[in-house]
Structure 1
């Protein structure tokens, strides 16, 4: 006799929904980044838009081990430079690798 596990099935469905939503968001950011044009914007507006999209693209692509990092950076990512994000991300990665539980 095979028993079903409703909570397991619910979690599986939630995971499928989340993965699907995440993939859609990533695709949206990629398209947005690739299709951003200067148009009538002044140069600084265009460059700031690209910078924001690039940082968002990096943050969206990180795995769940970096959720705390993404949460903290998301609060003020508009103030960060890409090189700051890279440095902070590498420091976070080192902390994760050297963590002892």
Structure 2
């Protein structure tokens, strides 16, 4: 298991990081990076668990636990604000 990789934008992607979808989406997920894998021509991918999903229309928050795979070059905020954002703090609500 690789612990860190650098994407083509120069962002360091590491196991354990939390990333969120662009906040303009209807459903904003928080993803925890569990593994980084290299897949030849497909590029390196982050294997993530969706630890939180927030529906901005209804305000409903769930913790689905679904596993997704994302190209590490996608884990980047573009100039237009699209893409993903590295979460600074743990976004899960405290109890």
TM-score tier, shorter chain, comes to under 0.3
Q: Report which structure shows greater RCO (CA 8 Å, sep ≥6).
A: 2
Compare CA radii of gyration and give the structure with the larger one.
1
More strand by share: 2
With normalisation by structure 1, the TM-score equals: 0.26
With normalisation by structure 2, the TM-score equals: 0.27
More helix by share: 1
